A and B are shown apart, each in its own frame.
Chain A
């Protein structure tokens, strides 16, 4: 079972780039890395998913080194509305109890 470790909290200012790192030392060969965003009183929302190297979409980038023991979610030019909890999820897309959410990182963006 892939255990993940993330910083509990991070602070940033509007317009800055934010990088949140997730450690997953015992990631399995068939595990994917997925990041979700969660606002209070809402369910998590998918941000990005990757297996190796770099993935980019319209809202974020995901960097995964060759050993895949960690991953970094990069949010370019954050705004106040990016204040949320960010979860790193490691597991096979087949799911099951191997889908493990991390403790989450509370990102606070200020003016």
Chain B
């Protein structure tokens, strides 16, 4: 079974530039998550999708971050404009659905460096 795919793996940009990350979840997984993981910290949930609807985006900085999930499959996370403090690894995860016992399957992440 193919895992969660993310691209790019690494990205370096200057502050005030924009950047986009792409995620392809495991086939058939209804739930998709985007996390931000700052060095030395645990992942912080940014947004959760159930199919193509948003379940929770309360921790997404909406003035600069946006995310969408096209047709309930792939997802993109965008930052515009980027700030220095956005330097982090952005992780995408998927799970089969909102039922007890669901585990999240994580992708390898995209490491963003903002200069």
Contacts and interface: CB of A to CB of B under 8 A. Distances in A.
- B interface bracket (residues with beta carbon within 8 Å of A): 20 to 34
B41 A103 contact: yes
B55 to A, nearest CB: 6
B55 A41 contact: no
Interface stretch (A13-21, A64-72, A75-83, A91-99): A91-99
Given A101-B44, A103-B41, A103-B42, A46 B101 contact: no
Contacts of A104: 41-42
Contact of B98 (A44, A87, A95): A95
A87 B93 contact: no
A45 B33 contact: no
A42 to B, nearest CB: 6
Interface in A18-44: 32, 34, 36, 41-44
Contacts of A49: 101, 103
A102 B100 CA distance: 20
B108 interface: yes
Interface in B18-40: 31, 33
Q: Which one of A43, A46, A102 has the highest number of Cβ atoms from chain B below 10 Å of its Cβ?
A: A43
B89 to A, nearest CB: 9
Given A93-B99, A93-B101, A95-B33, A41 B42 contact: no
Interface string B47-80: 0100000011011000000000000000000000
B3 to A, nearest CB: 9
B102 interface: yes
Nearest to B33: A95
Given A43-B91, A103-B42, A97 B58 contact: yes
Interface of A: 32, 34, 36, 41-46, 49, 51, 87, 93-97, 99, 101-104
